[in-house]
Amino acid sequence: MLKATYLGHSCVMATDGQYSIIIDPFLTGNPQATVKAEDIKVDYILVTHGHSDHLGDAVSISKRCNATIIAPNELAVYVSKQGAKAHNMHIGGAYNFPFGRVKLTIAHHGSAAGDGLEYTGNPCGFVITMGGKTMYHPGDTGLFLDMKLIGQLNKIHLAFLPIGDNFTMGVEDAVMAVDFLKPKKVVPIHYRTWPVIDAEPKEFAAKLKGKKTKVVIINPGESVEA
């Protein structure tokens, strides 16, 4: 069993009933957030890149919950310097954690943290196997052809894809990403947080009508099972 709860923007919390993880925990300052960072209780935190709307509250949650941050090497070093526990990884690498397996994929984006935009390495996506199900969270990314390879190598039960455009894929490219990945279910994310990414998820769903992939549009605070 894998239950995933969308917390707004790109933040997703998932549980198999025993362990809980959170991905890109941008809650403080997130106009979509329905929960406060101090109310989050998780065992692990996965961060795709260093931008503030993804790294978010990762360090404070890590310190409070004694939760390990899983991130690309340079970003893991950065959060370690902030006093957080971290597990350093890099793209193409995978590791078996108590909750399941995590593999890092490429993402076409940037990665820097803090007001001085400190370099935090390459951005990434995550293929997560947990509770007998496989979930894909690409972080912020443009469309890339290797999504086809990710779909071939993994039976993806649940994918979260950005549709907001401007900083990431827009609706059209996200539709093509679904064709590449062939997930059983897909949830659109990274839209409407701010006017510049005001995309329409119903348009995304309409363009995938008749496909095998089920589009699940959920509001922040709502959940979906893989």
Beta-strand pair 94-97/86-89: unpaired
Q: Single out the residue of 29, 16, 30, 2 nearest to residue 189, CA to CA.
A: 30
Side-chain half-sphere exposure of 68, counting CA atoms within 13 A: 11
Instruction: Point out which residues pair with 125 in neighbouring strands.
Output: 105
Residue range 38-43: mean pLDDT, rounded: 98
Tell me the C-alpha to C-alpha distance, in Å, between residue 160 and each of 76, 79, 157, 168, 186: 23, 25, 10, 13, 6
CA dihedral 14, 20, 22, 28 (to 10 degrees): 110
pLDDT of residue 115: 82
Residue range 44-72: mean pLDDT, rounded: 98
CA distance 18 to 12: 17
- pLDDT surpasses 90 at 116: no
Q: Single out the residue of 31, 220, 24 nearest to residue 140, CA to CA.
A: 24
SS3 188: strand
Predicted confidence (pLDDT) per residue in 84-109, tens digit: 999 999 999 999 999 999 999 999 99
Domain 3-219 fold = Metallo-beta-lactamase; Chain A (3.60.15)
pLDDT of residue 114: 87
Residues 6 or more apart in contact with residue 121 via CB below 8 angstroms: 50, 72, 73, 74, 75, 90, 111
Residue range 29-53: mean pLDDT, rounded: 97
- pLDDT surpasses 90 at 82: yes
Q: Percent of the chain having pLDDT more than 90? A: 98
Predicted confidence (pLDDT) per residue in 162-199, tens digit: 999 999 999 999 999 999 999 999 999 999 999 999 99
Mean pLDDT score across all residues of the chain: 97
Residue range 198-216: mean pLDDT, rounded: 97
Beta-carbon count within 10 A of 101 CB: 13
pLDDT of residue 171: 98
